[in-house]
Chains A and B, each alone.
Chain A
């Protein structure tokens, strides 16, 4: 079975802090994704990566950056956390054109 893990299930940070969310997949997938999920808005794509060191902006990249130094790991970085970034963050991975597999999510609260 494909396994996608996220470094934290719950995280509390203060406004202005730099926040790192990490995602690891064990199936050698080329593509990895970061979404945020908010009530009534569904999932919105922040960034995705189609290979090591390759990234592309999604629909809501402002205030976020990403890093993919190794194929199995995709990090989401909040450069200076703000309260409007309080959300559930979901990581996913897949082979080209195939099903996305999701991690359990990280619920981030920014105070």
Chain B
């Protein structure tokens, strides 16, 4: 089956600093890629997605991600974080050779923005 690896379980960062949350996936066949954010006691909200086209994808709240096919990565970045970005972030993959209709999620990265 497809696997999704989020290399960092927790990322502490100071407010207004840049941040990168890393995501790698196992399939090299064409896939769809997503980043979701989860605030405490809430469901998941879509931040951004890559389906095709430009490898640099812009999402909500100033986040962006770059699809790198050769490295099978889809890292999430923000140039300047706010306290309100404190949340858990999940990378997800669907499609590819395994099962088009299934989503595979990483284990999540908790972003802790400090003042």
The finding on whether chains A and B are genuine partners in a shared complex, rather than unrelated, reads: yes
Residues of A within 8 A of B (CB): 4, 31, 33, 35, 40-45, 48, 50, 58-59, 90, 92, 96-97, 99-105, 107
Q: List 29 A-B contacts (CB under 8 A).
A: A4-B43, A31-B101, A33-B103, A35-B105, A40-B9, A40-B108, A42-B6, A42-B105, A42-B106, A42-B107, A43-B90, A48-B102, A50-B101, A58-B102, A90-B43, A90-B44, A92-B44, A96-B101, A97-B95, A97-B100, A99-B34, A99-B46, A100-B34, A100-B44, A100-B46, A103-B43, A104-B42, A104-B43, A105-B42
Instruction: Give min CB distance, B25 to chain A, whole Å.
Output: 13
Nearest 6 interchain pairs by C-beta: A102-B43, A42-B107, A43-B105, A102-B44, A42-B105, A104-B43
Contacts of A100 in B (CB 8 A): 34, 44, 46, 92, 103
A48 to B94, CA, bound (A): 14
Minimum CB–CB distance for A73 against chain B, Å: 17
Q: How far, in Å, is B35 (CB) from chain A's closest CB?
A: 11
A-B contact count (CB 8 A): 56
Q: Which of B44, B92, B103, B107 sits near A40, CB closer than 8 Å? A: B107
| Residues of A close to B101: CB separation below 8 A | 31, 48, 50, 96-97
Q: B4, B6, B32, B107: which contacts A97 (Cβ < 8 A)? A: B32
The answer for the CA separation of A31 and B34 in the assembled complex, in Å, is 17
Chain A positions within 8 Å of B80 at CB level: none
Return B51 CB to nearest CB of chain A, in Å. 8
In the complex, what distance in Å separates the CA atom of A4 from the CA atom of B42? Answer: 12
Does A41 lie within 8 Å of B107, measured CB to CB? yes
Chain B proximity of A26: nearest CB distance (Å):
15
